[in-house]
Amino acid sequence: MIQNLYSQLTPAKITGMLLVRRCDRAKQEKGGSMKIHTIFLAFLLLAEPLPAQIIISEVMFDPLFDENSDEFIELYNLSPQDSVELAGLLIGDQNSVEPIVALRGGTILPPLHYAVVLDRDYELRSTTYDSLLPAQTILLTVDDATLGSRGLSNSKAETVLLLTATGDTLAAYRYSTGNAHGFSDEKIEPGAGDEPQNWRDSIVLHGTPGKRNSVTPFQQDLALSVDTLALRPEYPRAGQEFSVRLRVENAGREPSPQTEVRLSARGSVLAAQPVRPLAAGEERLLLVPLRLEQPGAVQIRAELIWPEDEQPDNNQLVLPLFLGWPEYSVVINEIMHSPSSGQPEWVELYNRTDQPVPLSGWQLQDSGARRAIAQEVYDLAPRGFALLTADSTLEDFFSLPGEVPVMVLPGFPALNNSSDAVVLRDAGGARIDSMRYAPGRNTEPGLSLERRNPDGPSTDAGNWGNAVNAQGATPGRRNSIYSVTPPEQISLRVIPELFSPDGDGIDEHVSIEYTLPGPEYRVRLFIYDMRGRKVHEMLNNAASGTRRSLRWDGRDAQGRLLPAGIYVLYLEAIDARAGTLNKATATTVLARRP
């Protein structure tokens, strides 16, 4: 049965006619007999209005592209059984309404179907919604150049109207501006009213013409919230455990059962975590621990598993991630920070690992936070060298091995001649190596700073020195001051661990021995009791070589024998020129013999 809503009949008259027609049909079937109370009931219902079936369900007033062709108004037939004739209905804004005319698919709207009223010029000037519109969607337009008066305004609120041919209002919605370009106003509950609280901005670009609105809740719908996807720590490294933080929300109308979230990468499931039942509107935060051994770019895929979910599109998230390389996998091996006149500055890298390291996107930084990013695609060979510079003329001044790349970095940081810091970061921003040079040491012009051993600490000034070869540098080759054994670290030991200065000639004192990375240190050696009180100063800002041995007889600075107990020896070695401080502690037991 098709109801002609644009006729001269009011909804009440239509209801009456429908009932009379049904009664007449019943009378014929019963051979002309009809009870009087049935006729009376039909006329009683003449005044009862027909429930509204056609609604405005979506309004695109601020399209992403051409507003002269891409505005639309969506209609929906709420009836589960009756088709509706739309030809002749009037649609527009509070200033102008025009008759609806067919564009594609006729003008009869089936039950529970959508019709989209487009700008008249849409088919001539646009294809924005062609791939979004379902094939069964009725496409309409108006008998005028625009929807409403000069189109729907995107700068001030207007009321969108749907009227019968006689001017009766079937639907009216006053939209509010402020949407992001390309996001429509959508009705939340189709069967509810047109109050502002029943409308919301679409969460889908270009809206949902001809489809269920993106803001209308499903009965069963769990969602992974994309805006809460996070990592702990923020920049994880390969081989390091990290956690992915997710938020699961029950966006449906019904409670959800226990479900599961799975995380996968590189074709393998990494973890699966259960999600307990959630009430409608309830949320749950998940912290899923992960560990990946291979550094570099990877996509972590999170998927919520619930076969009954009516909206699976919001059940997956993809997190592009860069797993940082392990610290010191690639090291700063040589620096030319004060070159001879006309020569460029440069930094040499060395790959300490047994696998190639892609350098694209890696960053070089100085103490002023100036960063240069490697844009060339190059894999640094295992145990191989690479040179970073601001100028390709480096090859004009040094004989370089053919296999060593020279990577020109736009924005190469200008290194200070006297003192500066150099920091190396991978493509994900994780710090891989850093070093600092200071005035008065390793700063001679025309001579590079070389690392004695790649396995030695970068922050130890004793692991660096000026090149000693004729060219004053060794770019792309083993350093001229290379040492097979990394520099020793500061060490402190006490022999024996227990002594008894009681005059019997046995274990009357302890021997205190320390080693330092280099000979240029000033040393302080203090002794504390277990209550943290300083009881003796063995050395205070004393010059020292790389090794020294002292003896302590268990007495304080005044020569008094200290009581039995545990004592802590604290050593500080300071290299003021390099700006480094090394510390070490050891313990000894002062005993009394019975």
Average pLDDT for residues 181-191, to the nearest whole number?
94
6 pLDDT band (50/70/90 cuts)? very low
Same domain, yes or no: 82 and 177: yes
Tell me the C-alpha distance between 426 and 323, whole Å: 9
The total number of structural domains in the chain stands at 5
The answer as to whether 536 is a domain residue is yes
Average pLDDT for residues 425-446, to the nearest whole number?
81
Same domain, yes or no: 177 and 59: yes
The answer to whether the beta carbons of residues 448 and 482 sit under 8 Å apart is no
Same domain, yes or no: 235 and 174: no
Average pLDDT, the chain: 84
Q: Kindly state the percentage of the chain with pLDDT values over 70.
A: 88
The answer to whether the beta carbons of residues 219 and 245 sit under 8 Å apart is no
Q: Which residue has the tokens 């070089």?
A: 364
pLDDT at 522: 86
Burial of 507 (0-12, 13-18, 19+ CB in 10 A): middle
User: Could you tell me the end-to-end alpha-carbon distance of the chain, in angstroms, rounded to an integer?
Assistant: 115
Q: Of 262, 297, 323, which one is at a domain's C-terminal end? A: 323
Residue 90 has pLDDT above 90, yes or no: yes
Question: Which of these, 99, 146, 95, 97, lies nearest to 118 by C-alpha position?
Answer: 146
pLDDT at 16: 34
Same domain, yes or no: 503 and 580: yes
Residue 385 has pLDDT above 50, yes or no: yes
| DSSP per-residue codes, 568-589 | EEEEEEEETTTTEEEEEEEEEE
**Coil, helix or strand for 559?**
coil
Same domain, yes or no: 313 and 380: no
Same domain, yes or no: 143 and 246: no
Q: Give the residues across from 175 on adjacent strands.
A: none
pLDDT at 465: 87
Same domain, yes or no: 428 and 338: yes
Look at 273 and 148; give whichever has higher pLDDT: 273
Q: Kindly state the percentage of the chain with pLDDT values over 90.
A: 53
Residue 241 has pLDDT above 90, yes or no: no
CATH number of the structural domain spanning residue 76: 2.60.40.1260
The answer as to whether 556 is a domain residue is yes
What are the backbone angles phi and psi of residue 210, rounded to the nearest 5°? 80, 10
Tell me the C-alpha distance between 548 and 490, whole Å: 12
Residue 528 has pLDDT above 50, yes or no: yes
Cβ within 8 Å of residue 565, ≥6 positions away: 529, 530, 589, 590
The answer as to whether 206 is a domain residue is no
Residue 543 has pLDDT above 70, yes or no: yes
22 pLDDT band (50/70/90 cuts)? very low
pLDDT at 580: 65
| DSSP per-residue codes, 288-340 | EEE---S-EEEEEEEEEE-TT-S-GGGSEEEEEEEEBPPTTSEEEEEEESSPP
Q: Tell me: the pLDDT tens digits for 322-370?
A: 888 999 999 999 999 999 989 999 999 999 999 999 999 999 999 877 7
Same domain, yes or no: 39 and 58: no
Average pLDDT for residues 125-131, to the nearest whole number?
92
pLDDT at 7: 39
The answer as to whether 140 is a domain residue is yes
Question: Which of these, 217, 7, 3, lies nearest to 110 by C-alpha position?
Answer: 3
Range of the structural domain that residue 167 is part of: 54-201
As a whole number of angstroms, the longest Cα–Cα distance in the chain is 139
pLDDT at 488: 62
CATH number of the structural domain spanning residue 512: 2.60.40.2550
Residue 557 has pLDDT above 70, yes or no: yes
Tell me the chain's radius of gyration from C-alpha atoms. Answer: 41
Which of these ranges, 309-318, 477-486, 550-559, has the smallest mean pLDDT?
Answer: 477-486
